[in-house]
Structures are given as C-alpha cells and as structure tokens.
Structure 1
Amino acid sequence: MPFSRETLDFLVENRLRDSRAWFGEHKAEYQKWVIQPLKEMVEALTPHMLTIDDQFVTQPRVDKTISRIWRDTRYTHDPSLYRDSMWIIFKRGRMHATEVPGIYFDLGPYGFSYGCGFYHASTGYMNTLRQMILRDDPTYKKAQAAYARQRIFAMEGECYKRPHFADQPGEKAQWLERRNIGFSKESRDFDLLYSNRLAQAVAKDLAVLEPVYRFLLAAAQEENMRDAAHAALEGGK
C-alpha cells in the first residue's frame, strides 16, 4: 500500500486534536494509513540500503527503522503529544543513538525529503571530520567527488558566523565551515509520494550518496575509536 492523502490527513488531524483518547479510538486508521505504508517503504528500500551498508538495521518496526508518532516532551517547551511527520532511517545499532550516521526518508503535510546525516553530530565528531578533510583522507575525496558531480542533494548544516577556514579552497570550505552536516533532497511531488514508483525513485537517488555516507561513517568510526582509547586511558589511571 503506497502513501496516500489519508496518510497526511491522519497525521495533521491527530496533531491538531492532540488527544490520547482520539488517537486510541483511531489506532486502526493509524496502522492502515501510516504504519503499513512505512513498513512497506522500509521493506522496498532494504535491498538497496544493504548494498550501501550490510550492517544497517532493517526491521520494519517502530523504534527499529520507523519513528514514533508521539513526541518526547521532557526537553521541549512544546507540549504537543504528537508529531505531524514520520520518518524511517537506516543506520547501524540503536535507532536513536547518535554515534553513527544514517540514511533517512521522512514525510509530512509539507511533502517529503530524504538523504544522509546524523541526529546530532557532536563537536568531537565534526572536529574529526574536519581533520580527515584537511589531510585529504581518501574517503573524503571520494565523497567530495560524488557530491560535486550530482545535482540531487543539497549540503545542509549551520555554518560558522565567521569563516574559520578562509585559506582553504571552496570545495573544502563548504564542508569545513559547518557546525553540523547533512545532505537532503526535499520534494513536494505528491503524485510521486502517492505512487508505487516512490521507493524505486528514492533508492536510485540515495545510491548517489553512498560515498558520502561512507565518509561520514569513517569519521564516526575514527572518533569512536578515539573516545574508546581515551576512556581506556582514563580507566587505567
């Protein structure tokens, strides 16, 4: 079952009603119009994603590859119980962990987007990524070449207010000057969203990002190894 107008209508109405009672009374619609299409999207993308990383978690379940519809309101001023968007993500390990990058697809009343990045890139991770760029690590060079020859995805992420790497060429600076980094394509092509062509189109585009994902993963692995070595050193004192 592809996504449909009913998928987005449910997400919007559920967010506006913001009621556990209403959600409970309409759980069948939630399963039919939201969860089932998301599961089928995960299943359709899985063979393609495993060619990018055979260690991706691929179970088509909430908290494995599919987001929760309810929000964690503990650390926000917004008391809304539910979100009006949903997403799927392919990554290693726990879905909500932040130490490795992932490849995602999300949708909501605004349309849909997909790409590659982190939940929250740590300062240490970004510093490691910059070091790899500055030393022309082979994984960076492949990622930069792949990004430069495509016109599908945009590089995203907050930049420093003042340049920190003004001495670097532009192709490097666009990576180096960011506090966080991701790559995304946004679309309002609802005809595609509601069609059986969606998964194949998304998979074809995401294949372009494989070298970029590999670079982000390599930076994460280097940073995680550094953290582990530091922890071992501290533990030995």
Structure 2
Amino acid sequence: MTTYFSDRSFRFLRALARRNERAWFHAHKADYEAHVREPFRRLLSDLHPDVLAVSPHFRADPKPVGGSLFRIHRDTRFANDKSPYKTWQGARLFHERSRETAAPSWYLHLEPGDCFVAAGIWHPESPVLRRIRQFVVDNPAGWKTAAHAPAFRRRYRLGSQEMLVRPPRGFPADFEFIEDLRRRNFIALRSIDDATMAGPRLRQVLARDLRATAPFMDYLCAALDLEF
C-alpha cells in the first residue's frame, strides 16, 4: 500500500500558519512541493480509477494547473485578511461539465487536525439552489434514501453552515424535510484523522467514501439534469 502524506506534510502546514509570509513560503517552497503538493497529485492520479468506477462523468485530475488541486495562494483582493496563503490544501473531484454549468463535486481537505472528505455542492447561485430545493420537494423519497439513510447518516453529517433563519418561501410548511430546505449548501462530509491521512490505507478509505456518497451525488446530479 502507498502512503501519500506524512508528519512532514502537517509540519509544513502548521509552520505556514505561524509564518504566513511570502518570503517564508518561497524559502520553504521545496518542502511544500515535496510534502504537500506532489503527494496530493499522486493521490489524485491513483484515485482516478476509483472515481471512474463510481461515475464515468467525474474526474480526479492531477494536472499541476487546471486540474483538481486548488491553488494554495489566497485571493486577498476583497478580504480583510491579507495573508497570502491558505493554511490547508484542497482538491475537488469535478464533473466533466463543471466548467459549463453548476455541478456537485467531491472535495478532499488536508489540514492539521481538520482533514475531511465532502460530497455535494457548495455556495450554488440562487437559481441553482431553488432547483435543488424544488427537486427535493418533488422527490422526497429519493432524498430520504440519498441523505437520510441510517447507514449514511452514521458516517456522514450534512453541512449546517449558513442555514436560512426560516424555511424559504413558496414551499409547503408541513413538508417532511422542510429543515433541509433551509440549507444554503447541500453537502455531506466526514472528518478524517491525521493518522489516516498519513497512513497506507488512505486511498482505500477515500474509495469507500466515494462509493458511500455516490447516491447523494447521483441525487444532486439528477436535480441539476447532469449525468451520473
């Protein structure tokens, strides 16, 4: 079995959190490449067959530019926090049509003490969000299976950030999943401990997560008229 990340991966990210400066980063860029970026690219390359086994329409792309890996540089143009770098590394396993339309994705997050895997759609625009909500109302049995199956909920939690204060207008107040319609983000996620992220079974663990969250992703794709 292959390992990807190590204690040195977490050590670099912790140090970056303490010294989030361009001069420090450039002086330690070789450590970033060796212990964070390149291991993540290897993981993406190895995960690609596992992604295709779940859905032929999603990609784990290890390309250094334009692939699955997010840049570690922060966009500080409109932010009060001008720190130049993120203190984590993330990657998304994206739908083949994601450049042309809103689509769900899987997301992998590497951060000391806060690693996780997620599936779903984050911050969709209002028309997209309304389509998903309406689809849930029109297909409640499928939503119950995809998002509320006992085995699924034992392993994954539905993201609860940025919930509306009250259910959106225009939907029946007595709907079984009315609280789910308050969601701004339709995501399911699971924390992963650092030891697992740095261990030899990481790919197998993530492949299991891909399979387990496939019905949830399939449902969201159906809501948005996307192939799964």
Specify the TM-score bucket, using the shorter chain as the normaliser: 0.7 to 0.9
1:72 aligns with 2:79: no
Query: Would you say the 8 A contact 2:120–2:188 is kept in 1?
Result: yes
**Structure-1 residue corresponding to 2:18:** 16
Moved more, 42-51 or 12-21: 12-21
**What's the CA shift string for 1:118-168, capped at 9, x where partnerless?**
2321211121112112122775465246x4432111011332212455301
Q: Secondary structure at the match of 1:173?
A: coil
Query: Would you say the 8 A contact 2:21–2:83 is kept in 1?
Result: no
Q: CA RMSD in A?
A: 2.4
**Structure-2 residue corresponding to 1:220:** 224
Query: Would you say the 8 A contact 2:54–2:210 is kept in 1?
Result: no
Equivalent residue in structure 2 for 1:203, among 182, 192, 207 = 207
**Structure-2 residue corresponding to 1:30:** 32
Cα distance, 1:35 vs. partner?
A: 1.1
Gaps of at least 5 residues in structure 1 are 223-237
CA distance in 1, matches of 2:210, 2:140: 23
Alignment of 1:173-192 (within 5 A): 173-187=178-192, 189-192=193-196
Q: Which runs of 4+ in 1 moved over 4 A?
A: 93-98
**What's the CA shift string for 1:163-220, capped at 9, x where partnerless?**
4553012xx2342232222110013x22212111111012112311101101112223
The amino acid that maps onto 1:191 is A
Query: Would you say the 8 A contact 2:158–2:188 is kept in 1?
Result: yes
The amino acid that maps onto 1:186 is S
Identity %: 28
Q: Secondary structure at the match of 2:214?
A: helix
Gaps of at least 5 residues in structure 2 are none
The amino acid that maps onto 1:26 is H
Q: Which has the larger radius of gyration?
A: 1
Query: Would you say the 8 A contact 1:160–1:179 is kept in 2?
Result: yes
Structure 1 length normalisation: TM-score?
0.81
Q: Secondary structure at the match of 2:183?
A: coil
CA distance in 1, matches of 2:164, 2:224: 21
**Structure-2 residue corresponding to 1:6:** 8
**Structure-2 residue corresponding to 1:60:** 62
CA distance in 1, matches of 2:4, 2:224: 34
CA distance in 2, matches of 1:193, 1:37: 11
CA distance in 2, matches of 1:45, 1:132: 30
Structure 2 length normalisation: TM-score?
0.84
CA distance in 1, matches of 2:116, 2:100: 21
Query: Would you say the 8 A contact 1:143–1:211 is kept in 2?
Result: yes
Cα distance, 1:221 vs. partner?
A: 3.1
Cα distance, 1:94 vs. partner?
A: 8.0
In the comparison of the two structures, how many residue pairs are matched?
218
Q: Could you say which structure has the higher helix fraction?
A: 1
Query: Would you say the 8 A contact 1:57–1:91 is kept in 2?
Result: yes
Alignment of 1:138-153 (within 5 A): 140=143, 142-144=145-147, 147-150=149-152, 151-153=154-156
CA distance in 2, matches of 1:160, 1:95: 26
